[in-house]
Structure 1
């Protein structure tokens, strides 16, 4: 990195909140060599979490439960303006496309550089609404840069007419805690998994994750693997529906709902008691899709073979036939066939595990990904600033030359 830049990251989700986006932004801030200040919402445990962080963080009550309400925008705008006045950043990154409207406003009024960070679903969910879609297009096209988490998301951004030179790609990374270890005997006893072939999913219980399709495939799986059991870690709005589906399919005894698990160490324990990992995400008509899927690489990092749905950004997280298997997320037969194939083909399973582990431990470590992020920010800051930003820089240069 040739020059250290000052960055303000504005995000509506951040640890101690739990989730993939929270971890993504935390690790960018933690591992970047730029001078980073984070504007993030308050959580009950914020003070304890923030203690000792190697970057500055400005918490505010501009969002409640990580959701936007009518009054959020004014509070967030005031927080951002205060932070930018004190920090005077080279660029501000907005961690959600509609929050980026503040970036558009501040660039129009004051020539402030801004970058939008996108994750896939936010590029799809507004397309049905003409007015909102027009706002999203304006925010993206006027941005100095757009940071994407996958080639899938990058293509969606390009579809909005964004200059490809201003688009960057930084994948999510894998925490080092995900590693191969001996299965936890207590967890095996607790869930009655002795002698079972454990198929595992980890993720929020929402329709696009495909838990329902795996449950629907369980009768066919059990005919070929009688000791199979489907263990689901996570919670969400689909919990009751999935339980009803398991009962309707007659496989309730072979489906275990663990619920939410706190802490990466405990999630790693579940990876290590499984024989294969599956998440057959699919794209829904309402614009819901998997932008990438870091859980596949977490499982691979723990030495578990993986199956993903051939949809969204999952085909980048899992290389079909190299680091895992891709199946048709809408086909119960294809899902069952993939599970049975992994269970029976030892040579294939071991080859996928070796390649998946190596890829997770080399290409997807946070330090490696942060280097790409730092280069991208340096490049964006060196590009000619569009519109009023150019005029602001020209005025600053003229004042400097007049001294």
Structure 2
């Protein structure tokens, strides 16, 4: 392999918690390229960075893990310094708008840049002409675009990006997610003895669909009297969801765990579950699930999965093969699917086995990072031009699957 020098400008990164954080961390951890990460500061960053095999440079250029226009000057200075110190072959920008800095460095310094996209970022700016135009310029002038699903890839193509410059590298499942015996301390803490546990893991925002499951719980309990809905995660919708459980008379059957830090701790919660459910839906304001790695984490622990038929979830869960897809706005389909997995052992086991095999083979980061490495190696072939870079080879098809 032709080892390249890569700088990843990450809008989010551990010890922050979330799917994108895990994605960028594991690509950085498993890549065979020489990578340096520029990431936001978090509490505990120094200790975390000291345990890694790759170099991380921290800066105070993000606020609440969101791009902040007032701090772009600081971010630009950080990136400029990285360009001077690292002299990277490729710079990967982990958030489409901060990719504007990559566009500037390409125009004025012919630096090679890649944009990493996740679905929601391809939808959220379409209502705003100015921002939408900026996103298009960032994407079409990028030397490459990294996408996390076919759903996201299609959204990138809609911006006019040449498909030959788009690569698909799915998120992966960390090896820590495995079937284990239930953590009895957690069972006692949340009063789950003798309960049929339906689990969701995700940020408490409207698109994740925890509200639809809560609304379905009265009918689910009619068929499964000992059912309890355990929600792991936190977010701006928590108060609304708690009130929704009270309104529907199921407050005693809905458990709000809050945020869980660390994959090992999260694995304990998956191992409490009899079913996993996250019925994501696409919202009019341009909010959609780009992929949904939690479905594959659940599958890795031997838990059957129900997903909403929207966004990238259709790739994370194969309907009738590795799980069940439902209309996220249909309480009837949600209830029917929960009851099916609770009562039909043959279907349940078939889905569990297929889901486990798929998660433990194709979606391991050692496999997925090879695709990332191949893609990076093929970009911006360096023909000596001082400190300049030529355009990438247009004859290479980077649609890695």
| TM-score normalised by L of structure 2 | 0.95
- Mapped pair 1:261 → 2:260: yes
Q: Which moved more, 1:188-197 or 1:74-83?
A: 188-197
Superposition deviation, residue 182 in structure 1: 0.6
For 1:154 and 1:172, the matched residues in 2 are separated by 14
Structure 1 partner of 2:95? 96
- Mapped pair 1:144 → 2:147: no
Structure 1 partner of 2:32? 33
* Cα distance change on mapping 1:374 and 1:392 into 2, 3 Å: closer
Superposition deviation, residue 71 in structure 1: 2.7
* Cα distance change on mapping 1:265 and 1:164 into 2, 3 Å: same
Superposition deviation, residue 70 in structure 1: 3.5
| 1:92-148 CA-partner distances (Å, limit 9, x unpaired) | 000000000000000000100100000000000000001110000010000000000
* 1:137-176 aligned within 5 A: 137-176=136-175
* Cα distance change on mapping 1:329 and 1:383 into 2, 3 Å: farther
- Secondary structure of the residue aligned to 2:228 is strand
Structure 2 partner of 1:44? 43
For 1:150 and 1:382, the matched residues in 2 are separated by 26
| Structure 1: tracts of 5 or more residues without a match | 394-403
* 1:1-400 aligned within 5 A: 2-382=1-381
| 1:194-219 CA-partner distances (Å, limit 9, x unpaired) | 11111000111000000000011111
For 2:268 and 2:16, the matched residues in 1 are separated by 21
TM-align CA RMSD: 1.7
- Contact 2:380–2:391, Cα closer than 8 Å, also in 1: no
- Secondary structure of the residue aligned to 1:360 is helix
For 2:255 and 2:188, the matched residues in 1 are separated by 13
- Secondary structure of the residue aligned to 1:381 is coil
- Contact 1:196–1:227, Cα closer than 8 Å, also in 2: yes
- Contact 1:107–1:389, Cα closer than 8 Å, also in 2: no
Superposition deviation, residue 390 in structure 1: 6.3
For 1:352 and 1:117, the matched residues in 2 are separated by 32
- Contact 2:382–2:389, Cα closer than 8 Å, also in 1: no
For 1:21 and 1:338, the matched residues in 2 are separated by 29
- Contact 2:380–2:389, Cα closer than 8 Å, also in 1: no
For 1:87 and 1:330, the matched residues in 2 are separated by 49
For 1:362 and 1:383, the matched residues in 2 are separated by 34
- Secondary structure of the residue aligned to 1:230 is strand
Superposition deviation, residue 383 in structure 1: 9.6
How many residues are treated as equivalent by the alignment?
390
For 2:63 and 2:280, the matched residues in 1 are separated by 28
For 2:92 and 2:8, the matched residues in 1 are separated by 5
| Structure 2: tracts of 5 or more residues without a match | 393-401
- Contact 2:197–2:230, Cα closer than 8 Å, also in 1: yes
Superposition deviation, residue 392 in structure 1: 9.0
Superposition deviation, residue 58 in structure 1: 1.2
Superposition deviation, residue 41 in structure 1: 1.1
Superposition deviation, residue 59 in structure 1: 1.1
* Cα distance change on mapping 1:383 and 1:208 into 2, 3 Å: farther
- Contact 2:102–2:111, Cα closer than 8 Å, also in 1: yes
- Contact 2:381–2:390, Cα closer than 8 Å, also in 1: no
Superposition deviation, residue 389 in structure 1: 6.4
| 1:250-306 CA-partner distances (Å, limit 9, x unpaired) | 111111111111221111111111100000000000000000000000000011000
- Contact 1:181–1:302, Cα closer than 8 Å, also in 2: yes
Superposition deviation, residue 184 in structure 1: 1.3
Which consecutive aligned stretches of 4+ in structure 1 deviate over 3 angstroms post-superposition?
Answer: 388-393
For 2:335 and 2:388, the matched residues in 1 are separated by 55
| 1:145-204 CA-partner distances (Å, limit 9, x unpaired) | 000000000000000010000000111111111100111112111111111111000111
